[in-house]
Amino acid sequence: MAASVQTIAARSSVRPEAWLWRGGLLGIWLLLLIFIVYPLLMLFSRAFLDDGHLSLQALGAAISAPKNLRALGNSLLLAMMVGVAGTLLGLIFAFTVERVRSARRVSRLIDFFTFLPLISPPFTTSIAFVFSFGPRGLITYELLGIKNVQVYGLTSTFAAETLTYFPIAYLALRPMLASISTSLEEAAFSLGGSRWYAFRTVTLPLVIPALANAFLLLFGCSLADFATPLILAGSDFSVLPTEAYLQITGLFDLKSGAILSLLLLVPAGLVFYAQERVVAGRSYVTVTGKAGVLAQHDSVSGIAGAVLLGFCLLVSALIVYFYLLLFYASIVLAFGANHTLTLDHYRVIFSEGLPAIRDTLIIALIGMPLGGIYGITIGYLVGRTTFISRKAMEAVSMLNYALPGTIVGIAYLLAFNDEPLALTGTAAILIACYVFRYSPIGIRTTVALLQQIDRSMEEASASLGAGSLTTFRRIMLPLILPAFFAGLGVVFIRSMTAISATIFLVSINWTLITVKILENMTEVALGPAAAFSVFVIVVVVLVTSMLNVLLQRLTAPSLRVGKIGA
Amino acid sequence: MGSRAIAGERADAFPRIDRRSLVLGALAAPFVIGRAQAAESLKAYSIWPENYARPMLEAFEKASGIHVNFIRFSSGEALARLLAERGNPQVDVLFGGPVETFTAGEEQGIFEAYVPPSASDLPKRFKSAQGMWTAIADDPLVFMTNTKFLQEHNLQPPASWDDLLNPAYKSMLQMADARTSGTAVTRIFSILQVNNRNEDAGFAYMKKLRQNIQAYTKSGGGGTVPVGLGQAAGGIFFIVDALFTKQKGYDVQISFPKEGIGSAAECIGLVKGNKNGAAARKLIDWAASPDMQSLLAPSKINFLPAHPKVAPDPDLAAVLKQAKIIEIDDRWAGDNRKRIIDRWVAEVLNAG
Amino acid sequence: MAAQSIEIRLQGISATFHHERRGDITAVKNLDLEVRPGEFLTLLGSSGCGKTTTLRMIAGFQKPSSGRILFGDEDVTRLAANQRDIGFVFQNYALFPHLSVFENVAYGLRVKRQGAALIESSVDAGLRQVGLHGMDDRMINELSGGQQQRVALARAIAIRPRVLLFDEPLSNLDAQLRVQMRSEIVRLQRELAITTIYVTHDQEEAMAISDRIAIMDSGQIAQIGTAEQLYLRPTSRFVAGFLGSANLLRGTVVAAESAKTVIDILGHRWELAANSPVAAGRPVDAVIRPEALTLAKQGAGPRGRVESRTYYGDKAEYLVRVGDELIQAVQWNPSTEDAFCDGDQVCVQLPASSVQLLAVD
């Protein structure tokens, strides 16, 4: 098979019956309008309207206020640094796992280590950082004897965010590297250049679109990160999401909070736009050649490979250390003061914290299937069918995902607090927030999978007499099952670990574990905070493993794809 | 698992669920899932941390049979919530929290007047003139420092506001952020009061103090464990949080400035638009009276009782013996709260 | 223009791999091979026989677990692939998708840091040689399969390697293109006189293009020789059955002399101009190609019954049952008059020569 570029599977000409079609589209648009467009409109109106008049005065004041400009600048600087460092780190990991022979054996292990930060509740890295690198830090003071280290500020926030987010770059880059056939590197090598030359002139250019994509992903994540700076940035380094949060929750100033969050919208929007336009068009997809079961070309020399592997293991060890620290904090009475082992904290979270656990699990378990179904439905509509508002639907469905959580949270708070739709205080608002915010990953996966399925399959099914629902159920659904499971996984993981949007939405009736963790953190009840965190991690690992097993069992062997990861 | 390669056969294993009914059912579930309700119940936001509020509210339930559903917010967050929910109040009572939050709330009109019977026993500063809130405890501010740090730097526990300006404390102090914490507001007003309400003098001091700040924390007690661990050298906290830290086993020193330091009444208020008025009023009655406040000492909750008939815990009283507690005019504080906080944010927080 | 062609020698080459599930696999066992200077040698075999592994070891992509590889007098066993001065054409071409045709072909020359003018002329000449003149600026994904194949070829020869290695380069092309391309490859190779090793599983291809063919089975060379030698004088049942079709008939040697053997086969006494590998009285296998047999209504030879006739236009294939054996016979340029129908009784006339006798083990 000659090396070829991605061919976009043509749109299906098979349409479902008219009533189903129109009703379904209308229903979906209704959902999108209510849960995505309406809250954002409310946000804009609160920011720009004063008693019904368009007033840009508050916006002008906010934009020109030096502290806001500083926060914006800090946010951008931090995001830039995290984007670069995280992408580089992710590339090193991806390259090591894919190309260094001695790393093959430990690749599973590395996968797991890099999986951990992705499923962790907020503050995990931050807490560990403070304990390790602070003035009395375990590493800086106890181990290395350095005194008076400043742990709060840009450096720590940057380091913590890089370690938290680089797995995203790793997950984005690894399949890319895997898809670049080693025969390309062999060809380059056989033509005489050194390994480094081959890497530089062949591998690297082919990975650049994926690198750019990873950078943008990380940039966006850092921009929206609310939890890490809350702990680590200190008072000298303010960033926008935290500022917006403090404006609202501290100064009960919804208007300024809304405006600040909109300031965040600009870079976030640009990033998203860049991702969609600049990167998507330039991917080179190659077809792997003869899968030499026994192919053994070394892309890196032995020494270089050992160095890379060693570095990756070092970073992984650091990550593991953080989690061990977390676990340790959960089983001692008072970390730093009283190191008696105890299960007291776990007792506390299962008694006093039980409502939060119950609430979070209920919300996660309800949101999960909703998110999965929503994901493949929109994915199918957008990726496979034609209708007038298709492009618009695609864009709108991505909105809540593209925006920083703070914006979405504030928007929901404004939109659903009063009539016509008073949803605050219910689980519905939390579920809706999660579903509409995180399903886009399921949507994208569905679209990607659909692109690999030729439309003639649906046509064949139709020619055999099957209606559209039957075709969808018996042909398409099994083939996009991995996307469904991806959607399930993401919504579940996020429901268990997200905070930046939903911190505005908790209520007496429904509270979340992550909010409890924050509360415990701020009340410096570290034991329960750590215990909650460990609980969340265990539950998430269990559920995603179960989902993976289920997916493997339900998928026909010939269609097996990779794990659910992020 | 079999070796069937035809996807179609797999699809037959798929359950036949009508997608739409699944969605509707799922959306309806939260409204339908019942919550265990006691005979009578009410909802509250508590500014007191869980480990203080829970025992008290459980005692209330035991005494009255009324169950209190509560969620904890810091003072700024609670106030913001109540304001945002004004059109559709979600709770009946605001439980605990420093007085300055309540006066600010009173100004915004989020409370409904209710005066519990025991209010007549209380001095003026422990109740709102319009009856919008009543004090249930008193909480002085203290200086708390890390013992080891003092030893290493050959310092005495700070006995004056100016002691905190010592360069030895550079970037080693943690205290609360005024945007979210009542502790901070009380602290700021103490400083102003000590300077005889000369705002410029007070702010000049706070700007100097800024040099020594490691972090402003979201909640009042946020800096206690860092100080306990030695990550920070010291800070200014409510006595209840400081003593709690000591009780946990951290090695810290508690001291007071000779110029005087303020104290904040901890209050309770009835939220306007509440839905469980009778139960809420019972809670306020109970909390404002010796019924609750006599439980503080045995529970090792280090608030000073507000009701004169309740004797403070002897250990607590001993700690406070050397303290000079000055009175902050709550009315003046309430009127100027926003302005002072804004000025603090602009001149002190962002000066660094 | 071409440098002196070199000889390639493999001595005692083995390749053992450890597979995580299947344990140790020996892909190549103690292989010896000598490729003459300028020769076009094909490694032929079915998948799993070790031909690709052998090729990759020659290229340097795989380290042999034992043995030596020599290019001319130079022991290259320890040498990395990028230092062996080879040209490798991959099955999937492995063209660089982000580089133009020109840049792909120029890649190896740039590595050598040749001057721009020299590169320009070399690439130009190379593209001309493969018939892609004027396509310099095209991107790889704009080319058809056949064109991509040519670019891969041009890239490999642009650097004037001392060894050319092909890994089933035509298997992704359709039949007509394959035939066309293989004659071009041969033509080019003759022109450049570079020692070439070619791997394929397609016998027809192998026979059409090679100077010599090495048939491989289970990691070893079953037999090496010209197409004619392999076809007419196979030394094993495997080789006999591998190239084309063959009838393997069991018989007994009656008399064995030099260049003449009499065997008892199919109940018939038969005199052959062939050497017997065994003494009289011993059993022997006769390898008889279908086209060597003649079918007639009457004649000398064993009699049998026609079981099937398949007509192909240029030939007709017959399956004839003689005693216990089912014999394949081919009639070229068949006419309806000569045709036999199913069930007909025919006489199978055995050839007097063009028969290989194999010992029975």
For A323-357, how does the pLDDT look when each residue is reduced to its tens digit (9 = 90+)? 998 898 889 887 777 788 889 899 988 988 898 99
CA A223 remoteness from chain centre: 13
Q: What is the pLDDT of residue A385?
A: 78
pLDDT greater than 50 at residue B350: yes
Q: Quick check: C113 contacting A, CB < 8 Å?
A: no
Can you tell me the mean pLDDT for B8-35? 41
Q: What is the pLDDT of residue A9?
A: 40
Any idea where the domains of chain C sit in the sequence? 8-239, 245-359
Residues of A in contact with C107 (CB under 8 A): 188, 191, 201
Q: Hey, which chains touch B, using 3+ CB pairs under 8 Å?
A: A
In degrees, rounded to 5, the angle at the alpha carbon of residue A445 between the alpha carbons of residues B8 and A41 is: 125
Judge whether A476 and A412 are in contact, CB under 8 Å: no
Q: For residue A557, what pLDDT band results from cuts at 50, 70 and 90?
A: low
Q: A151-160, A476-485, B228-237, C183-192: lowest mean pLDDT where? A: A476-485
Domains and CATH numbers, chain A: 15-55+343-566 (1.10.3720.10), 68-287+297-342 (1.10.3720.10)
- Is CATH 2.40.50.140 the classification given to domain C245-359? yes
Residues of A in contact with B85 (CB under 8 A): 417, 424
Q: How do the residues of chain A divide into helix, strand and coil, expressed in percent and rounded to 5? A: 75, 0, 25
CA distance to partner chain A, nearest, from residue B11 (Å) = 5
Q: What is the pLDDT of residue A295?
A: 53
Name the β-bridge partners of C309: C318
- Candidates A127, A142, A522, A555: best to mutate against B (most CBs of B within 10 A) is A522
CA nearest to A263, candidates A71, A41, A505: A71
Can you tell me the mean pLDDT for C272-282? 85
Q: Quick check: A373 contacting B, CB < 8 Å?
A: yes
Topology of the domain covering C8-239:
Rossmann fold (3.40.50)
CB contact (8 A) between residue A474 and residue B8:
yes
pLDDT greater than 90 at residue C38: yes
Residues of C in contact with A286 (CB under 8 A): 97
CB contact (8 A) between residue C148 and residue A181:
no
CB contact (8 A) between residue A292 and residue C52:
yes
A335: tokens are 């970390």
ipTM reported for the complex surpasses 0.90: no
In this prediction, what percent of chain A has a pLDDT beyond 90?
15
Q: What is the pLDDT of residue B285?
A: 93
Q: What is the pLDDT of residue A3?
A: 31
Looking at the partner chain, which of A235, A507, A556 has a beta carbon nearest the beta carbon of B4?
A: A556
CB contact (8 A) between residue A3 and residue C27:
no
Judge whether C219 and C29 are in contact, CB under 8 Å: yes
For residue A20, what are the contacts with CB-CB under 8 A and spacing of at least 6? A468, A469
CB contact (8 A) between residue A289 and residue C94:
yes
Give the Cα separation of C357 and C277 in Å (integer): 7
Q: What is the pLDDT of residue B59?
A: 93
The residue assigned the tokens 């007499």 is A465
Interface of A with B in 403-432 (CB under 8 A): 413, 417-418, 422, 424-428, 431
Q: Hey, which chains touch A, using 3+ CB pairs under 8 Å?
A: B, C
CA A450 remoteness from chain centre: 22
CB contact (8 A) between residue A187 and residue C94:
yes
The residue assigned the tokens 């030893």 is B151
CB contact (8 A) between residue C95 and residue A296:
no
CA distance to partner chain A, nearest, from residue C97 (Å) = 7
Q: For residue C63, what pLDDT band results from cuts at 50, 70 and 90?
A: confident
Q: Quick check: A236 contacting B, CB < 8 Å?
A: yes
Can you tell me the mean pLDDT for C28-53? 93
